[in-house]
Chain A
Amino acid sequence: MSQRKIEVPLMSDLHARGEQPEYLVWIGSAGAYDDRYKKVTRSFIKVLTYLNVSYAVLGTEESSSGDVARRAGNEMLFQMQAMTNVELLNAYGVKKILTCDPHAYNTFKNEYPDFGGHYEVWHHSQFFQKLIREGTLRLDSEVFRDQVVTFHDPCYLGRANGEYQAPRDVLKATPIHLEEMPRNKSFALCCGAGGGQMFKEAEPGDKEVFIERTEEALDTGAQIIATACPYCMVMLTDGIKYKNRESDVKNLDIAEIIEQSLNL
């Protein structure tokens, strides 16, 4: 087996050559800076490369979508980010956006239209679901055979946008055993990171939300807690550490499950 180096295509380079990729892949701040989530970004890009998807990233031109700023009450900052990003994306003629981050997904899909940003936005789970349905992506390798997996619904994919099926379809395309938590889909409990909580001390209470959710996930007997959101990833990874279960329980993004299934 040989290895090939991936040169991640930059929007600015393609634009200079007069080329237009089909998708703009939005990496997101967590995807670029959070050590754990950078691995998800790498896995995701490997899968896109494997699938020969026409895409490019903004690279150093990318900036915060403004989701956190808006939900933490700083509408002014959010709008500045939104207008700057929309200007850049429109200048590149972006039509389709693909991202692993449900928060960016939600912001582009539902909030940027107010600022002149009209895009066809895909969460990676939806993109993979489409390819699985079309038969382009097959995940029936033995890597995850009979592993017990539970899926934690990200609020901004699920309740915020009604997408519960796509990530489950991805998981069900592999030979795993999906074990639902009692609170799933629209009843799912938040990981505790949304609305700016990721970046602040929790308010006084009896317990941290991420511990409550991790306990629920562990109670399913899962060996893998699957997620599809950078914040959920951070919180549940912390939860597994807090519960001292790092040795027998893993937290994987669906992009990583695909990458490992395909042995990329």
Chain B
Amino acid sequence: MEKQIVFILALLLTLGIFAYTVNRLLAYFKLTRQDYPIRKLGRRFSQMMGVAIGQTKIFRRPVIGLLHALVFWGFLVILIGSIEMVVDGIAGSERIFRVLGVVYDVIIGAGDVFALIIAVAIVVFLVRRLFLHVKRFSGIEMDHKKHVDANIALTLILVLMISLLGMNTFYIQHALASGHELHGVFPVSRLMAPWFASLPADQLHLWHEINWWVHILVIFFFANYLPYSKHFHVFLSVPNVFLSRLDPLGKLYTMENVKKEVQMMMDPNASFDPPAEEEEEAGRFGVKDVEDVSWKTYFDSLACTQCGRCTAVCPANITGKKLSPRKIIMDVRERMREKGPMMVKHGRDYDDNKSLLRDYITEQELWACTLCNACAQECPININHPSLIVEMRRYLVMEESSGPGDLNAIFSNIENNGAPWQYSQEDRMEWAGDLYINES
């Protein structure tokens, strides 16, 4: 009974803190702008099953991708066991899902094997981060704190796997020592249980309890650590893929407020109409600060796990330019962390004399992009970096007219003679002069 009370209190504390975090994040989301509507749920579901559950894009780097996929699929299986632990903790029961029979054996057996696989994969990940120089883990945006965060997350997962195996091992040995019936199948822990054959039953029980508590309390802690970590992707990557755009990467979204203005401009009748009574605030064109980004871009920034696959394939970054697509996305999250609380307090118009543009993301970064979509193609969870880059260019060009001079020149050429080059439209057919074809 005492165990149940302690457990329920710990669970309530965990859920309470989590609810507080979610509430804060929702308030930040309310500050952001609209994006495309979420329709075609069937297509979204299949996209999620492929890219997220099937890990298809992770496998674009096959070796390390396989390790990640195993960790992810193992996580899904072990999650069922974690849910059982919560039910057991509340109800004071032991392995309550055992009523599932053979299904239970399969789930627990798979979880036991996956725990070892994940532990090994995490050790590989840690070694890679601590001792090998993987280029995409460095970069201007990857300061010391980012590496500490990554290592904490990995270490916590390692503790979870060790405690899970420990729990299973002592559970088996205790059952043997005390003559209890054994529920579940344990291909890995079964091999470790005999190591503790000399321990008396009460000690085995104690060790089981210690591992059980360590495992569940680390989960509770982890759940509340994640929203403040790059590892938030554990929660958000699957929904991020579900919510990601279905259109071809080549499509840029049409600005409806600009469309209204252009239609007015081009319609000879409209220009003489008196302005509508309560005309909607057109708002700023493009993105200058974090409240101008769409909810989806903010979602992207929270779901990003800083793996750097985007930056590793970016042609600008590869050739030494300042642009790093990963940084652009991370900057959105950082800036919201800075300005979000103040905007929640003082309103969306709050001004701290800083902005996402220039204080975080410089023009040099934005103008280095070739819009080649390599970053978006590579992102394992379908983050769309180019749409944010274009939105920030839109602000620079349409609100400040401060794009690079060369580009301003091509804008006037397009306006004046319908081509980026300064040639007369009358010369558009010059290529066709003296054109002959051989006839055999």
Chain B residues in 8 Å Cβ range of A70: 252, 390
A-B contact pairs, 22 of them (CB 8 A): A1-B440, A6-B432, A72-B397, A72-B407, A73-B286, A75-B254, A75-B398, A80-B265, A80-B415, A83-B262, A109-B250, A155-B372, A159-B373, A159-B377, A160-B250, A160-B373, A162-B248, A194-B371, A205-B320, A207-B320, A209-B319, A263-B438
In the complex the two chains form, what is the Cα distance from A75 to B247 in whole Å? 19
Q: Chain A residues near B247 (CB, 8 Å)?
A: 110
Residue B318 at the chain A interface, CB threshold 8 Å: yes
Q: In chain A, what residue has the closest Cβ to B421?
A: A33
Please indicate the chain B residues that have their CB under 8 angstroms from the CB of A84 in the complex: 266
B404 & A200 in contact (Cβ 8 Å cutoff): yes
Contact with B along A48-84 (1 / 0, CB 8 A): 0110000001011011101011111111110111011
CA–CA, A195 and B250, complex, Å: 11
Interface size class of A (residues with CB under 8 A): 35 or more
> Is B205 positioned at the interface, with any CB of A under 8 Å from its CB?
no
Residue numbers in B under 8 Å from A77 (CB-CB):
411, 414-415
Contact, CB under 8 Å: B427 / A33: yes
For the complex, is B58 an interface residue (Cβ under 8 Å from A)?
Answer: no
A73 to B320, CA, bound (A): 23
Verify if A17 is at the interface (C-beta below 8 Å from B): no
* Contacts known (A33-B421, A110-B250, A195-B371); A73 close to B390, Cβ less than 8 A: yes
Give the interface of B toward A (CB within 8 A).
Answer: 60, 247-252, 254-255, 258-259, 261-263, 265-266, 285-286, 313, 315-316, 318-323, 364, 367-374, 376-377, 390, 393-398, 403-404, 406-407, 409-411, 414-415, 418-421, 423, 425-432, 434-440
Which of B320, B368, B437 is most buried by chain A, counting CB atoms within 10 A of its CB? B437
Query: Is A46's CB under 8 angstroms from B435's CB?
Result: yes
- A50 touching B370 by the CB < 8 A rule? no
When distances are taken between beta carbons in the complex, the residues of chain A under 8 Å from B322 are 203-205
Note all chain A residues with C-beta closer than 8 A to B427.
Answer: 32-33
B403 near A72: Cβ-Cβ < 8 Å: yes
- Measured between C-beta atoms, what is the minimum distance from B414 to chain A in Å? 5
Query: Can you name 14 extra interface pairs (CB under 8 A) apart from A32-B431, A212-B315?
Result: A45-B432, A63-B419, A66-B414, A71-B390, A74-B394, A77-B415, A111-B252, A190-B370, A194-B371, A199-B410, A203-B321, A204-B321, A209-B315, A209-B318
The answer to whether B398 touches A42, judged by C-beta atoms less than 8 angstroms apart, is no
Q: Does A38 contact B (CB under 8 A)?
A: yes
Question: Residue-by-residue, is A207-233 near B (CB-CB < 8 Å gives 1, otherwise 0)?
Answer: 111001100000000000000000000
Give the nearest-CB partner of A193 in chain B: B370
